[in-house]
């Protein structure tokens, strides 16, 4: 997380529903067979969306982005009519490899960011859901269901609870989950990076925006695991 020339920090449009997906979960994220017969399991699509981190500096606003979002989610209930009120997130596990975050200013600035994130010791940024509850009634078709979610975010080896609004749009064979949150680097023990011998300093405050596309895990694939 470091200063560079101003760049758009939009999370971008989610990829189209129906993207093909490898039914095996990413390394380090085993997806156990569900014990809840009403639950539905989802895994990151091959084109899983984007995570963007934006901040400020004494010279320029900056943004770094990753298009590698690994993980899975499990929900119970059905996205239909009045029954949608019973939709429950059973779990969310998301991993973003730290070295997949890229600035528009090249590898020199990326290295400074990776050093600040302590990637040699802690290569991944992770989020694990603790609990979530639906906070809006069933919306119009194609609109987002909003969930109040609490989870554990780990950055640079430091883990902190975070509260998120998860805007979730169900598709025929998947989900799009979007969220954003304001954080401080120092909350995770990260010293805001500097450049040019300290003449350029990054601000402590950052904004994280995520748009994550998941595909429904087939019952056959689930049963085989």
- Confidence check: pLDDT of 12 > 90: no
Q: Beta-carbon neighbour count of residue 198 at 10 Å?
A: 7
Can you tell me the distance from the alpha carbon of 50 to that of 66, in angstroms, rounded to the nearest whole number? 6
Mean pLDDT calculated for residue range 77-101: 83
Q: What pLDDT band is residue 199 in, cutting at 50, 70 and 90?
A: confident
Band (pLDDT 50/70/90 cuts) for residue 195 is: confident
Task: Please give the Cα distance from 108 to 69 (Å, whole number).
Answer: 23
CATH 2.40.128.110 fits 40-214, yes or no: yes
Q: Cβ distance 174 to 40 under 8 Å?
A: no
Q: Where are the domains of the chain?
A: 40-214
Cα–Cα dist 169/143, whole Å: 6
Angstrom distance (rounded) from CA 5 to CA 103:
9
* pTM, to two decimals: 0.79
The CA-based diameter of the chain, rounded to the nearest angstrom, is 60
Pairing of strands 124-134, 158-170: unpaired
């Amino acid at each position: 997380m470091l200063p560079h020339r101003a760049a758009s920090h939009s999370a971008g449009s989610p990829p189209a529903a129906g993207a093909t997906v490898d039914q095996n979960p990413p390394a380090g994220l085993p997806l156990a067979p569900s014990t809840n017969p009403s639950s539905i399991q989802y895994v990151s699509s091959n084109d899983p969306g984007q995570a963007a981190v934006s901040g400020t500096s004494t010279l320029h606003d900056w943004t770094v982005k990753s298009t590698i979002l690994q993980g899975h989610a499990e929900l119970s209930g059905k996205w239909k009519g009045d029954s949608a009120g019973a939709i429950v997130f059973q779990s969310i596990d998301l991993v973003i490899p730290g070295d997949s975050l890229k600035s528009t200013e090249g590898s020199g600035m990326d290295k400074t960011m990776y050093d600040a994130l302590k990637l040699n010791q802690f290569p991944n940024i992770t989020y694990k859901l603790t609990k979530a509850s639906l906070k809006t009634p069933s919306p119009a078709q194609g609109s987002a269901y909003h969930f109040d979610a609490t989870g554990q975010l780990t950055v640079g080896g430091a883990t902190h609870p975070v509260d998120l609004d998860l805007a979730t749009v169900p598709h025929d064979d998947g989900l799009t989950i979007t969220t954003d949150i304001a954080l401080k680097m120092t909350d995770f023990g990260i010293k805001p990076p500097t450049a040019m011998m300290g003449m350029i300093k990054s601000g402590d405050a950052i904004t994280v925006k995520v748009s994550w596309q998941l595909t429904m895990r087939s019952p056959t694939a689930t049963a085989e695991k």
